């Protein structure tokens, strides 16, 4: 079991288009912990750590002894246009991002937990060396990708891409920088097969299958990803039969829930 808590972007605890915020809808007095739109934690406010560390402690107690902890850190769009307002004098946004990760790393190292984090804020959008490969969320003038060189090399980079089925240089880029890497597919069989094969070809740490808000359709693909990941290298993964046992998974009640894509409605705050 690996606990996970979004520790920069996705701080609302809800999807961006829902218009809801798990904390601020109930406790608006905590608004200074977040950037103006509530989507990202305000890294320039040291008060965030009292709250983050309290949540980490609760999760570690709930999960019991664990080796890893996933701190999220993806899609921190909420800092855009606001980070300079709160930035300490002489501090650059990428320095703030690096200091944030170093604080989290120190916290978990003391507890003998190894960090995982999503990759996208550490890749410059349109980087010519990476062929413009996405997802990449570091953009001017924030340049959060510059935080990468300051990070400890035992942080596991979770390289996610839910569409790619051809050349994708991101996992190799982080591996060559000295980081352990897991690749992260979602609900497409073609995408999963490609990333599993890539992980084996590059001798990466492994595969992390994702579900997000789509358990109704992703439960079979998670099981499929697990089987693919344990197949021998160079296996023809496209020929492995799944329907005889995936059919049983699809009978589970959760697979018959209404699709969240069509039922989730936002409410004004």
Q: How many structural domains compose the chain?
A: 1
- pLDDT band, residue 262 (cuts 50/70/90): very low
Residue 265 lies in a domain: no
Residue 68 lies in a domain: yes
pLDDT of 113 over the 90 cut: yes
Q: Could you give the count of Cα atoms lying within 13 Å of 24 in the half-sphere of its Cβ?
A: 21
* Cα 4 to Cα 78: distance, rounded to the nearest angstrom: 20
pLDDT of 211 over the 70 cut: yes
Residue 219 lies in a domain: no
pLDDT of residue 15: 72
Residue 87 lies in a domain: yes
- The string of pLDDT tens digits covering residues 78-109 is 665 455 667 778 888 899 999 999 999 999 99
Residue 138 lies in a domain: yes
Residue 204 lies in a domain: no
Residue 246 lies in a domain: no
Query: What is the domain extent for residue 27?
Result: 16-152
Q: What is the pTM of this model?
A: 0.86
* Cα 78 to Cα 43: distance, rounded to the nearest angstrom: 11
Residue 63 lies in a domain: yes
Taking CA atoms, 33 is separated from 28, 59, 130, 143, 202, in Å, by 10, 20, 34, 22, 40
């Amino acid at each position: 079991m690996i606990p996970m808590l979004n520790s920069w972007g996705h701080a609302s605890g809800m999807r961006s288009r829902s218009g809801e915020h798990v904390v601020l809808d109930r406790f608006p007095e905590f608004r200074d912990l977040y950037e103006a739109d509530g989507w990202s934690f305000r890294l320039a406010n040291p008060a965030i750590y009292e709250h983050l560390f309290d949540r980490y402690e609760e999760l570690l107690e709930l999960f019991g002894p664990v080796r890893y902890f996933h701190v999220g850190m993806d899609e921190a769009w909420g800092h855009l246009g606001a980070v300079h307002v709160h930035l300490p004098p002489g501090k650059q946004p990428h320095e703030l991002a690096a200091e944030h990760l170093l604080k989290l790393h120190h916290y978990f190292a003391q507890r003998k937990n190894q960090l995982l984090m999503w990759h996208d804020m550490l890749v410059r959008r349109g980087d010519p060396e990476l062929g413009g490969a996405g997802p990449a969320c570091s953009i001017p003038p924030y340049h959060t990708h510059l935080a990468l060189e300051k990070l400890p090399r035992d942080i596991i980079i979770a390289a996610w891409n839910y569409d790619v089925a051809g050349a994708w240089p991101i996992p190799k880029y982080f591996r060559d920088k000295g980081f352990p890497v897991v690749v992260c597919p979602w609900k497409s069989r073609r995408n999963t097969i490609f990333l599993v094969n890539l992980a084996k070809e590059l001798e990466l740490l492994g595969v992390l299958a994702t579900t997000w808000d789509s358990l109704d359709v992703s439960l079979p693909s998670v099981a499929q990803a697990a089987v693919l990941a344990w197949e021998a290298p160079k296996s023809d993964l496209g020929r492995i039969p799944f329907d005889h046992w995936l059919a049983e998974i699809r009978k589970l009640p959760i697979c018959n829930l209404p699709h969240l894509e069509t039922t989730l409605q936002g409410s004004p705050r």
